[in-house]
Amino acid sequence: MKNINFFPDPIIHSTFKGVYPPSDDTYLIIDYFKKNVNENFFDGLPINNVKKILDMGTGTGIIALFLQGIKKYISKFTSKIYASDISDVAIRCATLNERKNNYKDNITFIKSDLFRKFPSTLQHSFDIIVFNPPYLASISYKENNLIRNGNDSNWDGGERGFEVLLEFITKVKDFLNSEQKYYIYYISSSSTDLSQLNDELEIRGFQNRILNKRHIFFEDIILNRLEEL
């Protein structure tokens, strides 16, 4: 069965100040897809059924570009790729990287604070959504010589570290294709109260599954997959 273990990562030439660069959490997502996408299935979902994918908070665009690139190797994978970010600078950066990887005008970019400026035509349409949100608590501290402050939107996830994710969750069902099974992939951190987060997700009708994790400095970064309860 043809898979994409060998598929190269996108080339990221264009980076801008304030745009989150590809990091360990980014590659935790990409490496999982490399192992779990093949010519017939996208992580267990029939690949022919995956028509639209959204990369929320795209940053440099690397995940959207990786997904777009799969089409070169798997002919059955014809999903339309969308990428969104709150930052004008990030959208410019991702668009330039799209051109650098010879995918000009293939990805649809949307400048939006979460779903606030998404067109109504995209409601109930996405089969897969990927979100690497800011996932650390908005406090100032120094630990293991790492200094964080409370004004960096690339990591500041709110008081508990997952407020941004929960805000995303409150609107996401409006944009998921509820006519078939869908997946939401997201990153979380062991530095937050994961038990409390899971409770919040269950209240909102989602079942959480941990797919992989990686220990970085003072925390585990965790790749999760949400499904409907």
Q: Which helix or strand (DSSP H or E) is residue 54 part of?
A: strand 52-56
Name the band, by pLDDT with cuts 50, 70 and 90, for residue 151.
very low
Tell me, what's the pLDDT at 152? 54
Gap between the Cα atoms of 72 and 75, Å rounded? 7
Tell me, what's the pLDDT at 206? 97
Tell me, what's the pLDDT at 5? 80
What are the pLDDT digits (tens) for 64-121? Answer: 999 999 998 999 999 999 999 999 999 999 999 999 999 988 999 999 999 999 999 9
Sign of CA dihedral 90, 91, 94, 96: negative
Task: Compute the mean pLDDT over every residue in the chain, rounded to the nearest whole number.
Answer: 89
Name the band, by pLDDT with cuts 50, 70 and 90, for residue 145.
very low
- The average pLDDT across 199-206 equals 95
Closest C-alpha to 19, from 99, 85, 72: 85
- The average pLDDT across 148-165 equals 59
Gap between the Cα atoms of 53 and 42, Å rounded? 11
Tell me, what's the pLDDT at 70? 94
Contacts of 112 (CB under 8 A, 6+ apart): 84, 85, 86, 118
Q: For residue 17, what are the CA distances in angstroms to 1, 14, 48, 148?
A: 41, 10, 38, 17
Tell me, what's the pLDDT at 4? 78
Tell me, what's the pLDDT at 146? 45
State if pTM tops 0.85: yes
